[in-house]
A and B are shown apart, each in its own frame.
Chain A
């Protein structure tokens, strides 16, 4: 006869095994879809480019050197690749500004939604998700229609006599920023709203009662308590903004290259797959470092829930 302890242990083992079996298909898909291609990219970044794209199976650190350096064609000396650094910095700057812009626009929106009555809240939530119904490319072209020289904004400005010639917005960094802020705004609003909805508004009343003005209540009570949502929203916006391809291509006109354009170039006309791979992984590392720093910094003064 097995003792009660043995029976319990066997049951627990069975339980653990069943759980693994049940999650195996999902784990397999995640592993193959996420890790597989990533490994290929990592391997490619250490190979030699082939003459017509593709790779030659020959080890070379050249691609990694080329991420931030360039080799002089004549004397083989290395110098900093100014073009690459500029593109990296421009992309990072744009991603940061996009994150800040969506935060500035999204925070009040989320607050507005969370303070509506329960029924209207669902309606607002629904409205916020409407942009997701259309393809990103189409949405970007819609923005293009609005900001181009013959677009609505310029037509109104001309009609009102505020400007005498159309303002060039399209194909500038401003155009990319407008487009990105529009595209990524819901990704900022939704997590902040989720935090804000859980906020106990009696705490806000308590703040007012204890002589805090509206601004102080926002800074000292509301903001610290919805910080997890702000962090989540910032991450959700920053990562895709750094690697955004469609919006900068369409609205930036390809004049000011972004990271994604640079990477795409290596796999297309550049025929330098290893460099493209090395650049991709470099971007990933930047994102990871930035996120770690951000989360750690935010967590230090942040809220511990529960």
Chain B
């Protein structure tokens, strides 16, 4: 991973946003604080209604926070109207101006900033090249495809060289293949322009593949901020573990907590090593999570024992659903090979061995 300077581009300090008043009021954001570093690809991830778009709109200036500060390189921008913030947005609907050409759309921001004509022209040409849309510069935005509109929206937002680029689920309207292409394209653009990207999505796969860091949000709060690896392998809370990828939840007794590690005694009686989420308060029964690909199914006795309930073939791998003797459900993901089947059948009595460094103790 390249070295990221430690300067913060955006600091959100104890921001709350309440919509409505009296009985009908809804807290879309509840005292949220987060710092976004310069030049990073930062993702706000969460289900719809979690407040991620609200936070983006507060940074863009379309809404104003009920409480708290939003700092852009140390300066509070929360009271400024959107046209006074050096921040641009790529809208979910693209919001391209239908009465202008592709080139005029891209040049709009610079024109509004009062840049000289020649400079605008050069910058628009540069942007068209960056998003590979040179051939369609003179087209109306209604005459180009969804993927092309997406590129124009990106070029339009990047043209004024904003300090931060905000992207509000920009890929959600594209089909699967185009979305994959645009994910790579976005990473390339971020790398080439060196602009801080704040990306909003509800798609965990998109978040994992593209981001430098992810903030997982739920019900107006940020639950965990970390690298994709942190978020996936060291979830702090049940919501995070459940929302991102598939996982197994096991109840265990925790002992010997220290140095971020602990011993977890599972219901089967086996004790395994586990990492512990920050902020874990020692208690009798904690939840331990194990990703399906970090466990192995054996015919011999393992850390856990149970019966095979169901086998689901996925092409690259097979998911084997096991009912443990303790009554809990457990899924194991096994890589497929061409020559042999998965080696198990429904109703088989099996053991499950959990790899070293596979278990994480949640704080809730």
Choose among A205, A209, A225 the residue that contacts B99 (Cβ–Cβ < 8 A): A225
B122 at the interface (CB under 8 A from A): no
CA distance A33 to B224 in the complex (A): 75
Asked if B112 and A210 sit within 8 Å, CB to CB, the answer is yes
B156 at the interface (CB under 8 A from A): yes
CA distance A216 to B342 in the complex (A): 65
Asked if B112 and A212 sit within 8 Å, CB to CB, the answer is yes
Asked if A211 and B99 sit within 8 Å, CB to CB, the answer is no
Contact pattern, B 25-60, Cβ under 8 Å of A = 1, otherwise 0: 000000000000000000000000000000000001
A306 at the interface (CB under 8 A from B): yes
CA distance A202 to B142 in the complex (A): 16
Q: Name the distance in Å between A211's Cβ and chain B's nearest Cβ.
A: 4
Flag the segment in B71-79, B80-88, B232-240 that touches A.
B80-88
A208 at the interface (CB under 8 A from B): yes
Asked if A221 and B97 sit within 8 Å, CB to CB, the answer is yes
Asked if A210 and B108 sit within 8 Å, CB to CB, the answer is yes
Given A211-B83, A225-B98, A216:B112 Cβ within 8 A:
yes
- List the B residue with the shortest CB-CB distance to A201: B95
**Inter-chain contacts of B93 with A (CB < 8 A):** 200, 202
Q: Name the distance in Å between B164's Cβ and chain A's nearest Cβ.
A: 12
**Inter-chain contacts of A225 with B (CB < 8 A):** 98-99
B349 at the interface (CB under 8 A from A): no
**Inter-chain contacts of B60 with A (CB < 8 A):** 209
Choose among B62, B96, B109 the residue that contacts A211 (Cβ–Cβ < 8 A): B109
Contact pattern, B 112-134, Cβ under 8 Å of A = 1, otherwise 0: 11000000000000000000000
Choose among B89, B96, B113, B142 the residue that contacts A209 (Cβ–Cβ < 8 A): B89
Interface size class of B (residues with CB under 8 A): 20 to 34
**Inter-chain contacts of A206 with B (CB < 8 A):** 89, 91, 95-97
Asked if A303 and B95 sit within 8 Å, CB to CB, the answer is no
**Inter-chain contacts of B88 with A (CB < 8 A):** 209-210
A-B contact count (CB 8 A): 65
Per the 8 Å Cβ criterion, residues 251-306 of A in contact with B are 303-306
A203 at the interface (CB under 8 A from B): yes
Contact pattern, A 200-228, Cβ under 8 Å of B = 1, otherwise 0: 10110111111111001000110011000
B140 at the interface (CB under 8 A from A): yes
Main secondary structure of the interface of A (DSSP, over half): helix
CA distance A304 to B99 in the complex (A): 7
CA distance A305 to B91 in the complex (A): 21
Choose among B83, B108, B142 the residue that contacts A213 (Cβ–Cβ < 8 A): B83
Contact pattern, B 128-146, Cβ under 8 Å of A = 1, otherwise 0: 0000000000001010000
CA distance A208 to B112 in the complex (A): 10
B65 at the interface (CB under 8 A from A): no
CA distance A220 to B108 in the complex (A): 10
CA distance A200 to B142 in the complex (A): 14
CA distance A220 to B111 in the complex (A): 11
B220 at the interface (CB under 8 A from A): no
Asked if A208 and B95 sit within 8 Å, CB to CB, the answer is no
Choose among B61, B81, B140 the residue that contacts A304 (Cβ–Cβ < 8 A): B140
B292 at the interface (CB under 8 A from A): no
CA distance A207 to B95 in the complex (A): 9
B170 at the interface (CB under 8 A from A): no
B160 at the interface (CB under 8 A from A): yes
**Inter-chain contacts of B87 with A (CB < 8 A):** 209
**Inter-chain contacts of B108 with A (CB < 8 A):** 207, 210, 212, 220
Asked if A211 and B95 sit within 8 Å, CB to CB, the answer is no
CA distance A306 to B91 in the complex (A): 20
Asked if B82 and A208 sit within 8 Å, CB to CB, the answer is yes
CA distance A303 to B140 in the complex (A): 11
- List the B residue with the shortest CB-CB distance to A213: B83
Q: Name the distance in Å between A61's Cβ and chain B's nearest Cβ.
A: 49
CA distance A283 to B79 in the complex (A): 56
| Chain A interfacial positions (CB closer than 8 Å to B) | 200, 202-203, 205-213, 216, 220-221, 224-225, 303-306
Query: What are some 14 contacts across the A-B interface (CB < 8 A)?
Result: A202-B93, A205-B82, A206-B91, A207-B108, A208-B61, A208-B81, A208-B83, A210-B88, A212-B112, A213-B83, A216-B112, A220-B112, A303-B98, A305-B98
| Chain B interfacial positions (CB closer than 8 Å to A) | 60-62, 81-83, 87-89, 91, 93, 95-99, 108-109, 112-113, 140, 142, 156-157, 160
| Sample of 17 more A-B contacts, CB < 8 Å, known A205-B91, A206-B96 | A202-B91, A202-B95, A205-B62, A205-B82, A208-B81, A209-B87, A209-B157, A210-B88, A210-B112, A210-B157, A211-B112, A212-B83, A216-B112, A220-B108, A220-B112, A225-B98, A306-B142
